Amino acid sequence: MRLPRFLTPRTVVSAHCDLPCGVYDPAQARIEAESVKAIAEKYQANTDPEFRTRAILIKEQRAELVKHHLWVLWTDYFKAPHFEKYPHLHQLFNEATKLAGAAGAKGQVDPAVADQLLGKIEEISKIFWETKQA
């Protein structure tokens, strides 16, 4: 079925993201990952069982937020041309979300794992800002 001529778009536009780019920023994931690391350090320095229980709960919530923010960047901001220019980007996101997940910072209380996560987020951030400059 063809649209009537008056309903046919006159201007075709495209954008590389779903919303104005100002809404995307890897800093959101980084801030939550920094919280995960700080909580892991506080957990290691404290032997109070109630404190440790609360720390684990909060750390797991923050790790889940890291995953959320990374997924938003991966699925909503980055598009095919970015993945063509940075062929390792899918792998980088996969590694970062795994480090935030149950096998990583969410499932452990090791500040070193949080450091690895922060390193992956920094790599993603570098690529993100390069794409914003283009």
**pLDDT tens for each residue of 91-104:** 999 999 999 999 99
6, part of any domain = no
Poorest-confidence range of 10-19, 22-31, 37-46, 118-127? 10-19
Query: Among residues 61, 58, 67, 74, which one has the least CA distance to residue 29?
Result: 67
More reliable by pLDDT, 43 or 10: 43
Cα separations (Å) of 114 from 18, 68, 91, 92, 127?
30, 16, 18, 15, 20
5, part of any domain = no
Residues 91, 77: Cα–Cα separation, whole Å: 16
* CATH (domain of 117): 1.20.120.400
Mean pLDDT of 51-80: 96
Q: Is the pLDDT of residue 55 over 80?
A: yes
- The number of domains in the chain is 1
56, part of any domain = yes
Domain residues for the domain of 68 are 24-131
64, part of any domain = yes
DSSP character string of 73-108: IIIII--HHHHHHSTTHHHHHHHHHHHHSTTTTTT-
More reliable by pLDDT, 5 or 88: 88
14, part of any domain = no
User: Predicted confidence band at 77 (pLDDT cuts at 50, 70, 90)?
Assistant: very high
104, part of any domain = yes
pLDDT at 2: 72
Mean pLDDT of 81-86: 97
103, part of any domain = yes
* 8 secondary structure, DSSP code: S
105, part of any domain = yes
